[in-house]
Amino acid sequence: MDSYKLVVLGDESVGKTQLTTQFCLETFDETYYPTIENSYRKQWLVDGEFCMLKIVDTAGQEQYNALRGEWIRDGEVFIIVYSITSRTTFQRVRLFHIQVSRGIESLLYRGELLLMPIIIVGNMCDRAAEREVMTQEGEALAKELGCDFVEASAKTGTNVDRAFCDAVRRVRWHREQQRGGHPPPSACTRRCTARSRRRRSRRPSRGRFRGTRRRCPCLRGWQ
């Protein structure tokens, strides 16, 4: 059974601990307790395969930046959380994304940068009346940064499983790339040579991308 280490990042008070405990323990506590580091383990079935998730719930406060670097270096996949009720926490998603980017090696697929193993989660979607960040803004930021995106509610459980499921799928893809496989379709829409401007008007050459046409979902139209 494969084991994955997932790190939950985000500003303080965005609900990182509540998301994690909702997923692992199916509980929700509205009381805010500042976290330094909490660890959880959960065996889970995703797409017909069992895996063991090792989840690290981290501190969002600035004074723990040094520790955050260690958490990032130890992680394989990352969930960056913001609150839809706070634009400030949304704006800081970029900061956490930069920290992850610097903390792990860039994964290359035949010379092209792949999407990072990061999921952006807009928490507290149950508090729509207090919303400061629109869903479309979260989607646009995730697309720009090459991440998956979902809005969730730790309180009601809405999309919590989906966020962690997307994380497992992303790290599985990440490992596949390290073994020389092809990126997921979401990566192809941004990076695949079939989508590049210089190749739109002609069939993709086999060159150094030899053998990728038949496997890539976004290249089916070229076959």
Q: Is 163:148 a contact under the CB 8 Å cutoff?
A: no
Q: What are 221's two structure tokens?
A: 């139209």
Question: Residues near 206 by Cβ (< 8 Å), separated by ≥ 6?
Answer: 213
**Predicted local confidence at residue 175, as pLDDT:** 80
In whole angstroms, what is the distance from residue 12 CA to residue 131 CA? 18
Query: What is the mean pLDDT of each successive set of 10 residues along the chain, which is 223 residues long?
Result: 91 90 86 66 93 83 61 84 97 91 55 66 97 98 94 96 94 78 47 38 40 38 30
Domain boundaries, the chain: 2-178, 192-222
**Predicted local confidence at residue 101, as pLDDT:** 82
Consecutive H or E run containing 135: helix 135-145
Q: What is the CATH number that goes with domain 2-178?
A: 3.40.50.300
Q: Give DSSP secondary structure letters for 147-179.
A: -EEEE--TTT-TTHHHHHHHHHHHHHHHHHHHT
**Predicted local confidence at residue 39, as pLDDT:** 84
Question: Residues near 131 by Cβ (< 8 Å), separated by ≥ 6?
Answer: 84, 85
pTM to 2 decimal places: 0.73
Question: Residues near 150 by Cβ (< 8 Å), separated by ≥ 6?
Answer: 119, 120, 121, 122, 159, 162, 163, 166
**Predicted local confidence at residue 66, as pLDDT:** 62
Q: Is 5:73 a contact under the CB 8 Å cutoff?
A: no
Q: Is 65:72 a contact under the CB 8 Å cutoff?
A: no
**Predicted local confidence at residue 167, as pLDDT:** 93
